[in-house]
Structure 1
Amino acid sequence: SAHVAGFKYQLKSASYQGLLNYLFKGDVTDFDTNPKEADTLDENEDFQLGILKAMIDAGKTIQYVPLFREHPESISAILPCFKGKIMFRIKRTDETLDYLREHKQII
């Protein structure tokens, strides 16, 4: 729908897997049985970059905004799914660019 706005949702391992099952397969299940429970990340861990790398390793086709159109400090990408899309905006570093080039994601 053109009138649906994005929202933020605090993910934990169970809800992350449930959302992926919905996005890729259309499975509708109650995956967040304890909403007060939370997972924590390591202090320097970039969650979006980790998810992007996991999708690359899984062989998913990711669409990138051309780098010359993007802000110099970020890389944007979209992963279309069966029931939605996953949008990425990650910090543009030499290490990230090398990783994406190494995995033939960008030129």
Structure 2
Amino acid sequence: MKAELHLPDLQFKDNTENHEVVKSLMLHGHDLDVEFSVDYRGLPLAIITTSGVKRFSYWLNHDSLEWLLGYLLHGEIEDFGIKPNKVDVRESLELPVFKRLVEGKTKIQYVPLLRETTGYVKALASCERGKIYFKLKRTPELLAYLKANNEPVHLLVG
């Protein structure tokens, strides 16, 4: 059995500025295009773009993820209690967010297999205030999950 590694909470001094940029974009009603990724340390981040703003990274914790999804899905802006400099997650959030949207019946479009040859499931979730782009490793488990949730798996298998 593998011992769980306990790392101290990391602090990002510069993520406050990124948080303020995201909040300003929200306050001005921008639709956000978001991709989830991890940095070289395995820390989750959202890569955010919108019209007139260059791509930038916003590191995530549980609260900031909920805040970002609240805006994308429902247009909610309130960020009370969010500490953007504290990163409390050390894993990719892409698959959990994807599953949450699938189970929440969010409209998701998939790139059919005939266009996709890299071994990934590429998808786009259209939200009220933007889009979320996914690039998930195509595994039998993911395909079974999609089939169980009535997603168009026939487009994604060869």
- For the criterion TM > 0.5, the same-fold answer is yes
Q: Quick one: distance in 2 between partners of 1:22 and 1:38?
A: 20
Deviations 1:19-48 (A, max 9, x none): 11111222222357422211123xxx5521
Are 2:141 and 1:95 equivalent residues in the alignment? yes
The structure richer in strand per residue is: 2
Residues 71 and 129 in structure 2, CA contact (< 8 A), matched pair in contact too: yes
Instruction: Provide the alpha-carbon RMSD of the alignment.
Output: 2.0
Q: Which has the larger radius of gyration?
A: 2
> Which 5+ residue runs of structure 2 have no aligned equivalent?
1-49
Match of 2:77 among 28, 39, 47: 28
Are 2:56 and 1:10 equivalent residues in the alignment? no
Greater mean deviation of Cα atoms: 73-82 or 19-28: 19-28
Does the residue aligned with 1:52 lie in a helix, a strand or coil?
A: helix
Structure-2 change in CA distance of 1:6 and 1:78 (3 Å): farther
Matches within 5 A, 1:1-107: 2-31=51-80, 33-41=82-90, 46-106=92-152, 107=154
Structure-2 change in CA distance of 1:62 and 1:68 (3 Å): same
> Which 5+ residue runs of structure 1 have no aligned equivalent?
none
Greater mean deviation of Cα atoms: 26-35 or 49-58: 26-35
Structure-2 change in CA distance of 1:51 and 1:29 (3 Å): same
Structure-2 change in CA distance of 1:11 and 1:98 (3 Å): same
TM-score by length of 1: 0.82
